[in-house]
């Protein structure tokens, strides 16, 4: 079974390196559906798995000055309280069935929303660029710091419950709010936020006893080389080909969890 976990880590890591998306969105469903891991353990372990695997990428973006730290702080100003409040709610919910039902439902909804964000990423950016000089955009720009914090609260709760949403969904929201930011800067900013958020949420789940450290180790053994090889090959593939494929996979998995709930 340990080999199977590492192989799953290798496959997911390869896909993440290939497309830049799909870490938590693929790993958590695989652990639940294929391996029969309880949702609480799958989500908890995947949060730390995501924090560790994504951490290395932050240094490259920071070195190239592709991180908007003010936006990161605004996001964390909402997402960390949102995560901590969600952890507190889970700890007092009582009954494993209630926790698992809530996690499964949130996982399904998060995957569906993520798939939509993947499908429409280019159109979202075109829409944001076309609206940036309108009167509505001026009003949004005035309220943008507050909207960013509120967006962070929602992401914090969603990621803590499902380990999904910090990547593609966070990126799509940043594109809408900050159309003048370059795409690499948006990705770098979202990546730093995701690493801190998943790290804090994962630590909270660890404190609650949900993390399986052995499972985490075997996933990392496979995923780290997978990310390396996927990144090497990904430069040769068009996002126009990979994004619809990833979006379709995430949508199908998400609907499965929503309908099962």
Cα–Cα dist 146/173, whole Å: 14
pLDDT value of residue 234: 58
**CA angle in degrees (0–180, nearest 5) for 208-255-27:** 45
pLDDT value of residue 239: 60
pLDDT value of residue 240: 67
pLDDT value of residue 241: 67
Residue 236 CB contacts under 8 Å (≥ 6 apart), including other chains = none
Q: What percent of the chain has pLDDT over 90?
A: 36
> Which of 28, 24, 37, 251 lies closest to 155 in space, CA to CA?
24
> Which of 155, 200, 197 lies closest to 174 in space, CA to CA?
155
**CA angle in degrees (0–180, nearest 5) for 243-248-249:** 100
pLDDT value of residue 147: 94
* Per-residue pLDDT reduced to its tens digit, 198-221: 999 999 999 999 999 999 999 999
> Which segments of the chain have a pLDDT < 50?
none
Cα–Cα dist 138/30, whole Å: 43
Q: Using the 8-state DSSP alphabet, how is residue 64 labeled?
A: T
**CA angle in degrees (0–180, nearest 5) for 75-80-82:** 100
- DSSP letters for 86-134: HHHHHHTT-SHHHHHHHHHHHHHHHHHHHHHHHHTHHHHHHHHHHHTTS
pLDDT value of residue 119: 83
What are the residue boundaries of the structural domains of the chain, listed by start?
Answer: 2-260
């Amino acid at each position: 079974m340990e080999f199977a976990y590492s192989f799953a880590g290798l496959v997911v890591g390869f896909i993440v390196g290939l497309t830049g998306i799909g870490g938590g969105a693929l790993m958590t469903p695989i652990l639940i559906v294929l391996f029969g891991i309880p949702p609480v353990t799958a989500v908890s372990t995947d949060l730390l798995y995501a924090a560790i695997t994504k951490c290395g990428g932050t240094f490259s973006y920071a070195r190239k000055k592709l991180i908007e730290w003010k936006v990161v702080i605004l996001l964390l100003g909402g997402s960390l309280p949102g995560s901590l409040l969600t952890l507190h709610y889970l700890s007092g919910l009582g009954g494993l069935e209630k926790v698992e039902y809530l996690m499964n439902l949130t996982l399904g909804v998060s995957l569906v929303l993520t798939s939509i964000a993947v499908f429409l990423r280019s159109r979202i950016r075109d829409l944001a660029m076309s609206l940036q000089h309108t009167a509505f955009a001026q009003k949004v720009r005035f309220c943008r710091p507050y909207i960013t914090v509120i967006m962070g609260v929602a992401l914090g709760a969603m990621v803590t419950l499902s380990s999904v949403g910090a990547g593609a969904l966070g990126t799509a929201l940043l594109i809408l709010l900050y159309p003048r930011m370059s795409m690499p800067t948006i990705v770098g900013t979202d990546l730093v936020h995701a690493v801190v958020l998943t790290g804090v949420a994962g630590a909270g789940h660890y404190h609650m006893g949900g993390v399986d450290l052995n499972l985490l180790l075997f996933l990392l053994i496979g995923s780290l080389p997978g990310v390396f090889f996927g990144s090497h090959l990904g430069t040769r593939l068009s996002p126009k080909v990979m994004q619809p494929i990833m979006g379709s996979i995430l949508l199908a998995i998400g609907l499965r969890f929503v309908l099962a709930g």
